[in-house]
């Protein structure tokens, strides 16, 4: 291939960018490869769109100081990886188009698995694994169970050594398997311990593995060719527990295409079961995962907004005062807002260790959470029934306009208020011009109970400044 000034410029720019950890872009120019100084450990970002894979491979090889042999037909690729080594970027790029690579000294050979195994078998690495606790035949059987496509050599005279020949990605999986199995507790092999697959539909095996690690499990194994299966090494009981957690998380609302997050919440006073009850009573659309071995820890999964709401609620109720209270209930008000209810409940809140809570925007919601001893439950509910009554209706101005077309503007605002609050239009009256001078001044007043009037005024405040946080107003 002929070198021109554009190619020299490209190679120079890529080399400079990698030194400053800046993005590397592939362009549709043929890149001539020539070995540079070893820079394979430098960290880069790679962003390419509709690029010829040969150009991208050439750019990476130049930065790694290697030669490259590409054995397949050219294809266009899109790839974006951040803050990775050149070798990691190479691996990611090739896997995205179903290819692999091998290294022969300073040369990288890239192509399909079939092509590499057929034409470059003598170049594929043979790696020795020294085992400390398990036997080579045990490791060999588990490699077969996972269908890792490698060739193996074991010796009858030394059952603590195994040689494995395979592509770099396959050897990496064998190394992971060795790390997972070659432990003191597995020194005496038992049929009771085995690799069991946990097959997923909606979340990735990597996500489930992170959750299991957080819960105190040993890490599982994931095969690149099947990212929706996690292999668990352990007893049938271990596999059953992993599948139990899977059933709680691997649900349609947690699918990878949604805004799904998972958060751990360590409780101080509430038990995990009590926390579940709180979330269910409030009908917050999240999934709560708990374990009997972790009585004061829950994992919340769902959208970011729902998880944040659940965390906010648990932070409010997970206090020492609720430690010995054995009843929790959510009371849905009919006539008054939670803000008004809290004002009316102040006189009884300290009776018999009773606690009331509201949630975000109490001036709008109509739910109050109650914590109290079981034998005090009926008394508290009776108190709530007594205060949840509508007051006598009054007429109070709630909005105004000093514009010449004030009547029209107030009608539009009234329509929006009615849509938000559910109040009928006939509760609102818009006056004629009542200015004291030659200007314009129109009033809109509301006929309703005082708590409804306050509710509407709070709604109007939010309309005038919708970005304000009115949770504590």
The answer to whether residue 25 is domain-embedded is: yes
The answer to whether residue 354 is domain-embedded is: yes
Asked whether residue 364 falls in the same domain as residue 402, the answer is no
Closest C-alpha to 31, from 50, 64, 56: 56
Task: Tell me what pLDDT residue 409 has.
Answer: 93
- CATH code of residue 142: 3.30.1370.120
The answer to whether residue 303 is domain-embedded is: no
Asked whether residue 93 falls in the same domain as residue 138, the answer is no
The answer to whether residue 305 is domain-embedded is: no
State the Cα–Cα distance between residues 206 and 462, nearest whole angstrom: 42
Handedness of CA 461, 465, 467, 468 (dihedral sign): negative
Global confidence as pTM: 0.41
Asked whether residue 330 falls in the same domain as residue 431, the answer is no
End-to-end CA distance of the chain: 72
Instruction: Mark residue 65 as left, alpha or beta (left: phi above 0; alpha: psi -120 to 50; beta: remaining).
Output: left
- Domain stops at, among 387, 412, 430: 387
Helix spans in 152-195 (H): 168-181
The answer to whether residue 272 is domain-embedded is: no
- Domain stops at, among 119, 144, 159: 119
Q: At what angle do helices 406-421 and 450-464 cross, to 10 degrees?
A: 110
Task: Tell me what pLDDT residue 30 has.
Answer: 36
Residue 32, domain extent: 5-119
Asked whether residue 99 falls in the same domain as residue 171, the answer is no
- Domain stops at, among 104, 119, 134: 119
Asked whether residue 415 falls in the same domain as residue 439, the answer is yes
The pLDDT tens digits of the residues spanning 281-297 come to 777 888 887 776 667 78
Task: Tell me what pLDDT residue 348 has.
Answer: 66
Instruction: Mark residue 172 as left, alpha or beta (left: phi above 0; alpha: psi -120 to 50; beta: remaining).
Output: alpha
The answer to whether residue 433 is domain-embedded is: yes
Asked whether residue 440 falls in the same domain as residue 360, the answer is no
Asked whether residue 115 falls in the same domain as residue 156, the answer is no
Q: Assess contact for 321 and 343: CB atoms under 8 A.
A: no
Asked whether residue 355 falls in the same domain as residue 426, the answer is no
Asked whether residue 360 falls in the same domain as residue 403, the answer is no
Task: Tell me what pLDDT residue 365 has.
Answer: 75
Give the residues across from 361 on adjacent strands.
none
Asked whether residue 32 falls in the same domain as residue 77, the answer is yes
Task: Tell me what pLDDT residue 432 has.
Answer: 93
Task: Tell me what pLDDT residue 1 has.
Answer: 44
Task: Tell me what pLDDT residue 182 has.
Answer: 83
- CATH code of residue 46: 3.55.50.30
The answer to whether residue 244 is domain-embedded is: no
Q: Assess contact for 134 and 189: CB atoms under 8 A.
A: yes
Q: Where are the beta strands (DSSP E) in 404-461?
A: 428-430, 442-448
Q: Assess contact for 44 and 84: CB atoms under 8 A.
A: yes
Asked whether residue 330 falls in the same domain as residue 373, the answer is yes
CB contact set of 148 (below 8 Å; sequence gap of 6+)? 166, 170, 173, 174, 177, 223
The answer to whether residue 299 is domain-embedded is: no
Task: Tell me what pLDDT residue 414 has.
Answer: 95
- Residue 343 CB neighbour total at 10 angstroms: 13
Indicate the SS3 state at residue 64.
helix
pLDDT, one tens digit for every residue, the chain (473 residues): 444 444 444 444 444 444 444 444 444 443 333 333 344 456 888 888 888 888 888 888 888 888 888 888 889 988 888 888 888 888 888 888 888 888 878 888 888 888 888 887 777 778 889 998 888 888 888 888 888 888 888 888 888 899 998 888 888 888 888 887 887 767 666 666 777 888 888 888 888 888 787 776 666 778 766 778 888 877 777 788 888 888 877 877 777 545 667 788 888 877 787 888 888 777 788 888 777 666 778 888 888 888 888 888 888 888 776 655 556 677 778 777 888 888 777 766 655 567 777 767 777 777 787 777 666 666 777 777 777 777 788 899 999 999 999 999 999 999 999 999 888 999 999 999 999 999 999 999 999 888 888 889 989 998 998 876 554 45
- CATH code of residue 428: 3.30.1370
Asked whether residue 113 falls in the same domain as residue 20, the answer is yes
Task: Tell me what pLDDT residue 441 has.
Answer: 95
State the Cα–Cα distance between residues 322 and 175, nearest whole angstrom: 49
Helices (H) and strands (E) in the chain, counts: 14, 21
Burial (0-12, 13-18, 19+ Cβ within 10 Å), 131? middle
The count of structural domains within the chain is: 4
């Amino acid at each position: 291939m002929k070198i021109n000034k554009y190619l020299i410029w490209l190679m120079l720019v890529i080399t400079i960018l990698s030194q400053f950890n800046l993005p590397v872009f592939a362009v549709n120019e043929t890149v001539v490869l020539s070995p540079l100084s070893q820079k394979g450990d430098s960290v880069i970002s790679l962003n390419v769109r509709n690029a010829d894979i040969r150009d991208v491979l050439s750019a990476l090889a130049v930065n790694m100081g290697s030669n490259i042999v590409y054995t397949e037909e050219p294809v266009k690729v899109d790839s974006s990886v951040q803050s990775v080594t050149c070798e990691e970027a190479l691996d990611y790029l090739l896997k995205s188009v179903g290819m692999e690579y091998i290294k022969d000294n300073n040369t990288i050979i890239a192509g399909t698995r079939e092509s590499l195994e057929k034409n470059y078998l003598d170049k594929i690495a043979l790696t020795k694994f020294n085992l400390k606790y398990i036997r080579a035949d045990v490791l060999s059987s588990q490699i077969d169970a996972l269908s890792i496509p490698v060739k193996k050599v074991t010796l009858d005279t030394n059952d603590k050594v195994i040689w494995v020949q395979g592509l770099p990605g396959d050897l990496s999986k064998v190394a992971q398997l060795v790390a997972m199995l070659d432990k003191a507790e597995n020194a005496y092999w038992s049929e009771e311990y085995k690799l069991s697959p946990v097959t997923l539909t909606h979340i990735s095996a990597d996500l489930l593995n992170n959750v299991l690690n957080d819960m105190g499990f040993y890490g599982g194994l994931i095969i690149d060719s099947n990212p929706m299966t996690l292999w668990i090494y352990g007893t049938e009981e271990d596999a059953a527990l992993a599948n139990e957690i899977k059933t709680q998380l691997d649900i349609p609302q947690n699918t990878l295409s949604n805004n799904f997050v998972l958060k751990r919440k360590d409780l101080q006073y509430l038990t995990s079961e009590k926390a579940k009850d709180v979330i269910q009573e409030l009908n917050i659309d999240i999934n709560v995962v708990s374990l009997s071995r972790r009585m004061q820890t829950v994992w919340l999964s769902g959208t970011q907004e729902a998880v944040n709401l659940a965390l906010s609620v648990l932070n409010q109720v997970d206090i020492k005062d609720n430690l010995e209270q054995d009843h929790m209930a959510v009371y849905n008000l009919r006539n008054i807002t939670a803000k008004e209810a809290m004002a009316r409940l102040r006189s009884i809140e300290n009776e018999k260790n009773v606690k009331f809570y509201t949630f975000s925007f109490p001036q709008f919601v109509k739910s109050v959470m109650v914590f109290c001893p079981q034998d005090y439950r009926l008394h508290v509910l009776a108190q709530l029934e007594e205060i949840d009554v509508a007051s006598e209706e009054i007429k109070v101005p709630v909005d105004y306009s000093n514009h010449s077309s004030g009547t029209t503007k107030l009608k539009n605002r009234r329509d929006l208020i009615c849509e938000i609050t559910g109040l009928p239009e006939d509760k609102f009256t818009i006056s004629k011009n009542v200015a004291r001078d030659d200007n314009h001044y129109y009033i809109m007043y509301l006929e309703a109970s005082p708590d409804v009037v306050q509710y509407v005024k709070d709604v109007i405040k939010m309309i005038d400044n919708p970005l304000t946080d009115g949770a504590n107003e």
